[in-house]
Each structure stands twice: as structure tokens, then as C-alpha cells.
Amino acid sequence: MKSGSIISSLSSLFTFLILLMLFGGVDCKHNPADSTVLPDTTSHEFSWDIQTFGGGAGSSYLSDIAIVDENNIWSVGQIYVQDSTGQPEQHPYNVVHWNGAEWELDRFQFPICGTGDTAPFPARAVFAFSNNEVWFTSAGTIMRLRDGATSNICIPSDLLTGSINELWGSSPEDVYIVGNLGTILHYDSQNWQKIDSGTDQTINDIWGVFDEQTLDHKIFCAVSSKFQAGEMKILQILPGNVVQEFDWQPQRSMQSIWFGENTPLYTCGDGFFIYEQDSWRQAQDLPKIYKNRVRGNHQFDVFVAGDFGLLAHLNGNSWFVYDSLALNAGSYKGLAISNNIVAAVGYNGDKAVILIGKR
């Protein structure tokens, strides 16, 4: 064969291989170096550390927690400790902070709006926007921690008809809070707007996703009472802060709601439910214990926490219940997960509890 023919044949073969790769003959979609490809499952294996605070001086508890990173974790509630004489200190602590080396107790002074005074009210909720921006709420006021300095944000009394339960925001200039008596408020860095929720029932939880390309929110709220009969709803906050009721066929009490980008919608309370393909299904592999909070990284890494120290993990294929972490006289109330760190907080007897797991 002539050299020109050989070169021509090799050239044709090379062209064919290129076309084969471009149009599907070689599957290049599962490149393990592609960080956007989610795992099919995640490990149930975590190492756990539990810390308690207070005890003997009053009923201590923690209600919420936020993970900035492994060296910066914030939790809120009310912690009574004894002074040097063994007597309860006059004011309880309301914030616990992990600084990478130890847990620190603190008393944040929340504003008494309209008076110029402050007080160490029990803290209700915490939300971390970044390493340098964390927000804390009491029943009716907000404290902002930015770059190590605190400042107060007062909510007009005519807008806040019920105490604050939770908050979520895409940024410090776009914050939503929910609470009792159907309270939903939006903050745009300058003004508060009261949003008509269409209910006077307790709104327990709020979670959202912000699309930076379309600049649209996807926000859901869980509405019901754990201890009293009443409305049981999921509310969706649409663009323009219009609220509509979302399908909630199970009609069961809800304490929490969570979802991520391109994940199902998860709710928990009197059961654990998953919404996908336009229908709800109940997780059947969990103990029949009331569930207080659901949070996750993605659909293959979801945790739920509840009464009697219930803590369980969904890895995409199966549930795992951490029976060894149960609390015989308490509950986990707050929950957070960030990458390979999960944290649950609550109480056991008269002590506040923080549980940290690392994968």
C-alpha cells in the first residue's frame, strides 16, 4: 500500500473516533473528577460527640443550630448554670458557640424595641448567611452578628403579631421570618413587609432555594400545631411575596420542611413524607415517634431528628436509625447539616444537648 493511502486511512480512522466520542459512542458523562455528579448513596457511618450544658439550676434547652464550618458552629436556646455558691445565676445564657477548640456560652442582648434597652431573652432561631454574617432571633426581636460586631434589627410592633419561630434568607438583604398566628415577614435590608399567609395557625418552619440565574425564590412553609387541633398546611411563597396553599394530601401535623435544588420535598412531624412526581408517599422504615426537624445536603443525604432523641439518616437507598444516640428524657429540636458535618440540639432532662457527627 502506498504511504499516501496509509496516511489517508489513518486520518479517516482518527476522524471516526472523534465523531464516535462526540456523538455517543464513548460515554464521558460519568467522569469521577466532575464534582457536580452526586453520589448514588452516602455513608451512614459518622463519629459522634455529645455535649451537655446546664443542669441543676433550671430547665435548659437548645432549639436551633447553624453550621458555618467545622470551626464555627452556633446554637441558641436557654441555659441555666450555677454560680460559685451553687445558686442559679440571675440570667441564663442564650447562645452557645463552637470556636474550633471549645464550646463557649454567651448572653446576647436582644433589643427591647421602642425603648432603647436590651435584655438576654431566650434565643429561638439562628441562621448563618456566611462566615461573617449570622442572625439570631428571640421571640420578637433580631440580633445581627457581622464581622464580629453585633447590631440590633427591630421589627415594627404592628407587623409582628406572633412570636418568631424560624428564619431563612438568600442574603442579609432578603430575609423571611415565620412564627405564631400565621406570621410571615420579609426584610429587604431597609423595610419589613407583612405577608398575608391566609392562616392564623402556627408556622413552624421555612426553607427556600434561590436561583441566581432567574433571581426567583422557591420557598415553602410548614403550618400546624403539634399539640392542638387546627389547620395543617404547606404554604408556598411565590414571586411578589404572594402566598398560595400547596398540595398536602396526608393532612398530618408538620413541624419541618426541607428541599434542595432538584430534590423531592420532605416534611416531618406526625410521620415523614416525601413529595415527588406530583404525589406524596410516607417513609415506612422509621419509628413511630414525632419528628421535629428535617435537613439535608441533597436527596442522597437527608437527616431527621425528633422526640426521645430520634435521629435517622436517609442515604438514597435506605434509612439508618442511630439508636445509641437516643435520649431517655428529651428530644432533638434543631438540626443542621453541612457537607460531612451534622448537628442536632435539644434537651435531656434539665440539660441542654448538642450532638455533633462527622463523616
Q: Is the pLDDT of residue 4 over 80?
A: no
Distance CA 75, CA 138 (A): 13
Sign of the dihedral defined by the CA atoms of residues 322, 54, 345, 308, in that order = positive
Residue with cell 408556622: 203
pLDDT at 101: 96
Distance CA 321, CA 305 (A): 10
pLDDT at 324: 97
Q: Is the pLDDT of residue 14 over 90?
A: no
Tell me what the mean pLDDT of segment 29-45 comes to: 61
The answer to whether residues 95 and 78 touch, using CB atoms and an 8 Å cutoff, is: no
- Per the document, the length of the chain is 359
Distance CA 171, CA 176 (A): 10
How many other C-beta atoms can be found within 10 angstroms of the C-beta atom of residue 67?
A: 20
Amino acid identity, position 306: G
The answer to whether residues 65 and 73 touch, using CB atoms and an 8 Å cutoff, is: yes
pLDDT at 1: 47
- Percent of the chain's residues with pLDDT above 90: 76
pLDDT at 37: 62
Tell me what the mean pLDDT of segment 255-275 comes to: 97
The most confident of 6-20, 104-118, 309-323, by mean pLDDT: 309-323
Residue with cell 414525632: 290
Tell me what the mean pLDDT of segment 53-80 comes to: 95
CATH superfamily, with its number, for domain 46-358: YVTN repeat-like/Quinoprotein amine dehydrogenase (2.130.10.10)
pLDDT at 137: 97
Distance CA 51, CA 40 (A): 32
Distance CA 90, CA 318 (A): 48
Residues 194-245: pLDDT tens digits?
999 999 999 999 999 988 777 788 999 999 999 888 999 999 999 999 999 9
Q: Is the pLDDT of residue 304 over 80?
A: yes
- In sequence order, the 6+-apart residues with CB closer than 8 A to the CB of 1 are none
Question: What confidence category does residue 84 fall into, taking pLDDT thresholds of 50, 70 and 90?
Answer: confident
Residues 130-153: pLDDT tens digits?
999 999 999 999 999 999 899 999
Q: Is the pLDDT of residue 354 over 50?
A: yes
Q: Is the pLDDT of residue 8 over 80?
A: no
The residue ranges of every structural domain in the chain are 1-37, 46-358
Question: What confidence category does residue 9 fall into, taking pLDDT thresholds of 50, 70 and 90?
Answer: very low
pLDDT at 157: 86
What's the per-residue H, E or C state across 141-173? CEEEEECCEEEEECCCCCCCCCCEEEEEEEECC
pLDDT at 116: 83
